[in-house]
Structure 1
Amino acid sequence: MHVLITGANRGLGLGFVRHYLQAGHQVWACYRSNRGGLDDLACEALHLLRWDIGGDQPPEGALPDHIDLLINNAGIYGDSKGGQSLAGVTSAAMLDVFNIDCIGPLRVVKRLHQRMPKGSVIANISSKMGSSADNSSGGTYAYRAAKAALVIVSKSMAVDLAPAGVHVITLHPGWVKTDMTHQTGLIDITTSVAGMSHVIAHAREYAPGLFVAFDGQVVPY
């Protein structure tokens, strides 16, 4: 299987790279500028692509002729020191996060979907923080809004790509111990990736565009 993963140099992205390499697949790992942990995984099945999904420029490197699984993992949290409160959030902060977390996956799919054959899968990594039904604490305006918007964008992708046999789902990774959460999560990267990979493997058991957590539970939106 040919797997392409964005935001693959650390955290969940790097976890996905390790998972699919260990399973014997060919992996195209995308990074913005720093290869990070990818330098420790050099092997013939790993292909590196330098790609800043925050802009419209193409990736640097050779894309696969076809992609069986696309994981849109690249994302940012934005300001975590009061810059996402009602008093502190700015339009620039909102747009920065929205550009990466919502428009970024759309850019990637626009460029790559014609390389995806019938039976392939797109997994867009969102967050339960983008769920209106789950929001009881408020705040975090930029990140919540961008991840909520990604759920809607992902649903439209699912509808538009269904005639071509491409199945799209949206995933919630859980509260994971990563740099983004300052290692304060409830589960580790291995647990999250194993769960999401299981959901991906059974993606067609879920309705196109559905929002699904790493443990297989549907996330209320």
Structure 2
Amino acid sequence: MPITENPIKFNSAAFNTSAARLSQCPDDIGAEVAFAGRSNAGKSSAINTLTNNSRLARTSKTPGRTQLINFFDLNLPGLRIVDLPGYGYAKVPIAMKEHWQKHLDAYLQKRQCLRGVVLVMDIRHPMKEFDEMMVGWCESTGMPLHVLLTKADKLKKGPMQSTVLQVRRQLRERLGDLVSVQAFSALKKSGVEQLQERISEWLLAEDNSEAEDASEADEA
């Protein structure tokens, strides 16, 4: 069911809590969309651009500083966006990386209110090892995936479009209709509406389904 007027106000996003493990996460109710990505892919900048709040997600010149799962509440009760720990680039001890991996996997496997994953990749360096791991997880669980090819301003229009088509073709073979791909630039603020629409479709899917069920019941 298409969204005619988006009730979600992304600029309302406010910090809820940080969690080092699944047991510290907010109650597993409502609906949330998680952002994942290598720690130098521009994930925090993408979240800040999405919400029009430059201070919402922590950004750093030293990749890998986000070591916790961070939850942000939206204006509708029970709806959240989640910033997952960056991984695969940070110069941190092996034990810390193993900790991240363990609890990231627990979140992805057991979080019942998770409705979709936004996988952030640098458009100049897509489908690295971490990206493959996330795609594989979505493939095995049937979780909807939206690939956000960031830093699109670093490429000219032709190479940018070519990369989007290449990644889309590659992932459609594995995930079919579960995957969507877009270019995005935090610097130019391009692709924001497309990203908002995709996240809204996921977060509002239950409300839409309930509305359709109620409509069908009335017609019967």
The two structures share one fold, judged by TM-score above 0.5: no
Structure with max Cα Rg: 2
Between the two structures, name the one with larger relative contact order (CA 8 Å, sep ≥ 6): 2
Greater helix fraction, Structure 1 or Structure 2: 2
TM-score, L = length of structure 2? 0.42
TM-score, L = length of structure 1? 0.42
